[in-house]
Structure 1
């Protein structure tokens, strides 16, 4: 139990930080306005058009019972692999297609509707919080590094490390599944159970189609405006910290830590900025005077960590649930470590193997206009692959159970 003194110190520290932030804006209003405009531009031109359709569709799919239908079909894969319900695959695929914080929005909805337990929600957040591929390939590899071939390395490292975190968190507060639960997952009539789940979910929701669509748009816009507020706030915060040269006092310590890890200390500025905001951190990493391998490893860590700005967005969309932020933050750090390690492997021992993939990616043109179409295709492709894998697991287990009974 936390002491009253510690609670009071936290309140005082928070009040002091907010006061200093407010005073800094009063002293440097021009810099604050410019940073706010830049943050709003990112929200209006990138975040809003890329996330709004997926937010609305996720609401409608939940209300129509489609997610419950998919959850039953995907249970044979998601339960043994990540120890989460089959609906977790929906959060995984939507998060991969739309990027941060789509997965947190969906996981919060799962928990509010009782579709997952608190621990299952925390496990889901640990590995479904991923950047969308177009951000890695287009914004980072092409836009920042000017090296389209690096996109494949960072994307593979990012998603493999995410799955690694999911497998590791499978054992987080693990409780053994009962024989009844295991038998139900691999019982006969999986399709019939999925259809029943769809009708039950639609009946429990009960909203007319018109109201369902209206609520979906309204709730999506509200959530997106909150996300836009955090993006703008952190853009101003990072600018104020730069104005007051806070980074200059901290980067020597970060540089020493990077040197101990065998990385170039000149990347300390990228780490500092990346801890706060993902775009700024990856941009500083791409322009640092350091070896390419070190820069890409740090960029991979930053993308996986995702920045305190995204963390605050996640906290805001799950604030009315009992899902804790502690496991999420720990998973983000572990995700970053895995991503940096896999990047080192892919650019070292496995570099010759990936050479054909590098050439194919380098020849691709990442047109921002096609962002929504490509994201939708990625979501459908991921769901298709997961469904096929789940079906294969289900069939193999069914044959195994039948063979044991004989």
Structure 2
């Protein structure tokens, strides 16, 4: 494992890498980035972007509402609600020209899973690009009311006895997430496994779209779920369950959603991609200001966006968390981050972790050339170009592609230069 993930490539993985590289090469040959050098503005004035009703889609919605796409020469950008992450994937496979979408607010691992053909029909490879990270933190792991007496918080092992009893009574333990291999799947699996609960053996993981989580918990369809806001807060506000932990407590300052685009669209429209990226980056700066949170909650709550009461959005935006089990905190630093501290930058080290975790759970093969895959999808170069044109302060531009070693709540350390050591340190994994 260690040898494979580091330098050497087996013949099999070399063939896989060559095939994927050929896909990217074909896209770039068809749409050379310098083809439109003579024109001063974006090649097109619009694009079709998808979003899921989650607070971390705010940069796309704010860019649309505040006229920022128009400001940068892209007045015809559409921001269209998607029913689920599966629908987002399917519409990206279609592409905007075929009544699908060109890009989206997306789970950070999903572009990689699509790019490698792991989650598409007939394993079709759809070349994808990640242009920016949209946010850090503020997802939640919430539990049904029946487990309130366990006192479960960060330590998921407090659920073991209750789960075992329920299973002995012939009932199934259902743990819901939003997409296999996506961020919510990974947070839920990490939390359960750290508590000695095997997510592949001790529970049944099910897929539920984010806006449907609360309704399904209400009728008893699940025992635990992981999703972004505002759905954890809405669950608490409706008295249906409680939040055991926010994901920022599992990994402080963790990356979450991304701005993902079809690679052929980016290669065909490099100036438009940069213009759109600039609009989203400016929106992220606006979203990050605490003075804008009330307006932001009201804006997102509108019928055409989330169609929820602003109070279900606002609390956790400000770091005010009512966990729903008698525990609450005010003004914490667990609120969602959008800009300061390099949030928007698509660190390659973070993408390396997402792929490594998906190797852990069997979504990618152990011999995956992680470094090559990240290089194909991650477009930090475009982010840096956009930041330059946007006159982003030097302090907000990371010095390099890696944020370095990352430490999790259970003491595990991920070194992006040695993912094998991290995998070897984990007890529960599909690889075992």
Shorter-chain-normalised TM-score: which range?
under 0.3
Structure with max Cα Rg: 1
Question: Which structure has the highest strand share of the two?
Answer: 2
Task: Please give the TM-score of this superposition, normalised by the length of structure 1.
Answer: 0.24
